[in-house]
Chains A and B, each alone.
Chain A
Amino acid sequence: MTALSRDDVAHVAALARLSLSDEELDRYTGQLQAVLDHAADLEAFDLEGTPATAHPFADRNVVREDTPVACLDRDEVLACAPDEEDHRFSVPRIIGEAP
């Protein structure tokens, strides 16, 4: 397990779209390090050849028929929107194209 740096935490916060004060950066770095230190116990077990579990019960091919159902009422949805214009969700200017 690696040691977590303050820069790591700042990088992670940026990825998660969170802004941290200097005090928070210090505090979170210590707290997250404590969790990662605890997680060092996972290294004690030999995991060679052990598959990962993503779902508790691995059923497969759960699909539905391609049949339309009723949509939501637009006014009801837009009533929840922080800002709307012309029946669409309005957002401040976008920097950069989608990946």
Chain B
Amino acid sequence: MTLPNDYEMVVGLEVHTELRTATKLFCGCPNSFGEEPNTSICPVCLGLPGSLPVLNSHAVELAMAIGAALGCEIRPSSFHRKNYFYPDMPKDYQISQYDEPINVNGALELPDGSTVRIERAHIEEDTGKTTHLGESGRIHGADRSLVDYNRAGVPLVEIVSAPDITSAAQARAYAAELRSILVATGASDGRMEEGSMRVDANVSVRRVGDATLGTRCEIKNLNSLRSVQRAVEHEAIRQVALVTDGGRVVQETRHWDEGASKTVTMRSKEEAYDYRYFPEPDLLPLAPDDEWRDRVIASLPVLPAVRRVALLELLDEPTPSQRDQVLSVVELGLDGYVTTAVARGVAGALALARVANELAALENATSLDPDKVAGLLSMEQAGELPATQAKAVLAQLAAHGGDPKEIAAAMGFERLDDSALTQLVDGLIAAHPDEWGRYAEGDDKLAQFFVGQVMKLTKGQADGKAVIAELSRRR
């Protein structure tokens, strides 16, 4: 299923990210995930009568860091109340930034060189969590629901893009790049499956060449990068099918059903809310001065785009697959392993390959000591360990820690000395005269036969390249 050529999609994403603060946005309750229900609550986040909010300075700093990383203008801002009744919201209003958000007018450049403008990135509070009881376990068909307010009042930043996205793959790339930035700045842990980063997509379609936008639908519940791409794709196709059948797209909120691979309607516009926004009287305006703002900007880490360039510069002529590796290594935050190894003399290509393929596959990749990984890769680079053994040592290092040299020794991975190799090769030539004859006459394929025999005899300890060198020296 793809979009017909004469249609294009117009997509904007709204990303909510929970901030990694120690406490909630307006009270001192711990901001933590997975606690026993209703244990991280106080009069403020429970909305008890008489309680008042006080703004968490660290949340403001992380919001500014996000804004700065997205090239936003950081501005004087204020808080409003967004009024609507819902049981997961203890005050029955949400404190959010409305017409004066802290960050406006930024842009995010994606790895493919395209740019998506950022309209705003504002601060607001999260809601509690509701569990629906009854036969379906979902909201429809439930006979009652249970509410846990541990998450109520957790700080969020909502990042709203302009409708600049034109493909499902680009939507995914935007979400991935944004996630890398949020993780890099320390603002978020980026865990979509735990809901600490949540994506909503506004999707509309139009005929190529049309200037006006089509009617859009908002898709909620995109809790993985894969869902973002698939939901946007499916929704655009649904809308085109509707329009080409002579129907009309109805503005509504839709829910992505990953299992069924389709979006389903949540509520239509006639139930539209009247949020009655007005300035939150319990909070004063927020206008970070230059000193505060500059301090946050100065402490920003190096961002993913810059880190990707740094890795690419370590390669001579990056191949397309190496470019993909660079992308994923930076996205996973593993690029430090590559740069540390290269600083110790390891070739960029080798370092990238090991980090992208082997290290990235490990559960606890980021907990490894970069110096030890670099040490291991140096051994491989110097020919002290062949590839298969280097991989085995890495697995051991990840599982139990320790020093790569000692691990290699303990695993019996001593380097075969040159005279032992010479003797082995002599013995094999004598034992397999036919094969040697064909090799000597120029049949290179038989080199692999001899390498295999050497490996068998040495239990993989020999370096394949050294065997071939020995063979060709005698040819």
Direct A/B contact, Cβ within 8 angstroms: yes
Binding site for B on A (CB under 8 A): 15, 17, 52, 54-55, 58-69, 71-72, 74, 77-78, 85-94, 96-99
Contact A98 B38 (CB under 8 A): no
Residue numbers in B under 8 Å from A54 (CB-CB): 78, 279, 281
Is there a chain A Cβ closer than 8 Å to B391's Cβ?
Answer: no
* A1→B274 CA distance, assembly (Å): 21
The answer to whether A63 touches B86, judged by C-beta atoms less than 8 angstroms apart, is no
Contact B132 A94 (CB under 8 A): yes
| Contact among A66, A74, A90 with B146 in the assembled complex (CB-CB below 8 Å) | A90
Interface residues of B, dominant DSSP: loop
Contact A68/B41 with A15-B274, A89-B147, A99-B86 known, Cβ cut-off 8 Å: no
| Among candidates B39, B146, B285, residue contacting A71 with C-beta atoms closer than 8 Å | B39
Q: Are B22 and A66 touching (Cβ within 8 A)? A: yes
Q: Of B28, B84, B147, B220, which is within 8 A of A67 by CB? A: B28
- A97's nearest neighbour on chain B, judged by CB, is B266
Chain B residue, CB-CB nearest to A78: B38
Residues of chain A within 8 A of B38, CB atoms compared: 74, 77-78, 87-89
List of A residues within 8 angstroms of B146 by Cβ = 85-86, 88-91
Flag if B30 contacts A88 (CB, 8 Å): no
Listed A/B pairs (27) with beta-carbon separation below 8 Å: A52-B279, A54-B78, A54-B281, A60-B284, A61-B289, A62-B55, A63-B56, A63-B286, A65-B58, A66-B21, A66-B23, A68-B28, A69-B23, A69-B42, A71-B39, A71-B41, A72-B42, A77-B41, A86-B146, A88-B131, A89-B87, A90-B145, A91-B144, A94-B87, A97-B220, A97-B255, A99-B273
Q: Is the CB of A94 within 8 A of B142?
A: yes
List the B side residues contacting A63 at CB < 8 Å.
Answer: 54-57, 60, 286
B70-104 contact mask (Cβ, 8 Å, vs A): 1 or 0? 00000010100000111111000000000000000
Shortest CB-to-CB span from B137 to chain A, Å, is 13
Which residues of B pack against A, CB within 8 Å? 21-23, 27-30, 36-43, 46, 54-60, 76, 78, 84-89, 127, 130-132, 134, 139, 142-149, 220, 253, 255, 266-267, 271, 273-276, 279, 281, 283-289, 292
* A69 to B57 CA separation, bound complex (whole angstroms): 15
Judging by beta carbons under 8 Å apart, are A74 and B286 in contact?
no
Partner of A69 from B28, B39, B274 at Cβ < 8 Å? B28
Docked pose: A16 CA to B143 CA in angstroms? 24
Chain A binding surface SS class = loop
The smallest beta-carbon distance between A84 and chain B, in angstroms, is: 8
Cβ B144 vs Cβ A92 within 8 A: yes
Residues of A within 8 Å of B21, CB to CB, are 66
Q: Using CB atoms, name the residue of chain B closest to A57.
A: B284
Compute how far the CA of A89 lies from the CA of B128 in the bound complex, rounded to whole angstroms.
11
Contact A61 B148 (CB under 8 A): no
Besides A17-B85, A90-B145, A90-B147, 14 other CB < 8 A contacts?
Answer: A52-B279, A55-B285, A59-B284, A62-B283, A68-B23, A68-B28, A69-B28, A71-B29, A88-B37, A88-B131, A88-B146, A91-B87, A94-B132, A96-B266
Bound CA–CA A85/B22 (angstroms): 29
- A60 and B144 within 8 A (CB): no
Given known contacts A69-B28, A71-B42, A77-B41, A61 and B144 CB-to-CB distance under 8 angstroms: no
Q: A66-B21, A71-B29, A74-B41 are in contact. Are A97 and B267 (CB under 8 A)?
A: yes
A52 to B281, CA, bound (A): 13
- Which 7 residue pairs across A and B have the least CB separation, nearest first? A69-B28, A66-B58, A88-B146, A54-B279, A63-B57, A89-B147, A60-B285
A96 x B267 contact (CB < 8 A)? yes
CB of B150 to closest CB in A, whole Å: 9
CA distance A58 to B284 in the complex (A): 7
Per the bound structure, the CA–CA distance linking A87 and B146 in Å amounts to: 9
Provide the residues of chain A in CB contact with B86, threshold 8 Å: 98-99
The answer to whether residues A61 and B145 also contact, given A66-B22, A66-B59, A74-B41 and a CB cut-off of 8 A, is no
Q: Which residues of B contact A88 (CB under 8 A)?
A: 37-38, 131, 146-148
A86 to B283, CA, bound (A): 34
**With A15-B274, A66-B23: A91-B145 Cβ-Cβ less than 8 Å:** yes
B459 to chain A, nearest CB (A): 55
Q: How far is the CA of A71 from the CA of B60 in the complex (A)?
A: 22
Residues of B within 8 A of A15 (CB): 274, 276
Partner of A90, one of B144, B273, B284: B144
